[in-house]
Structure 1
Amino acid sequence: MEILYLSRRDIESLNIALREVIDAVEKGFRLKGEGRVELPPKLGVHPRKTRLFMQCRFILVVK
């Protein structure tokens, strides 16, 4: 499995307008409400001998 980590700087360098972000989130909620996309459950990663807990999320992009 390949993991792509995007830093804050990576995201900011895309220069995406706030309106585009709002529109994309709104579309995602609309598609979810229409039953056209799935939102898989979050995966939890519990490394041993540490208190670290990470939640992972897969994002499905529908165009």
Structure 2
Amino acid sequence: MSKTILEKYNIKDKVELILEKGQIILKPIASPRSNWEKEFKKMSENGDDKLLMNDVFDDENLEEWI
């Protein structure tokens, strides 16, 4: 496999191998949330972890949920 193909499909050192209908499919193994804990800590330290919108809207009737 050429380096260009590996880079194009973001294939690093690990792949998922799928056998399907006479074909071999290689997919990169991604860990999209692997650094979230570290990044959330940084956000908190920088004061960047504020809500972007209220979690309860002003016109919301909370009595409906009781």
Establish whether TM, by shorter chain, passes 0.5: no
Normalized against structure 2, the TM-score is what?
A: 0.31
RCO higher in 1 or 2 (8 Å CA, sep ≥ 6)? 1
Structure whose CA Rg is larger:
2
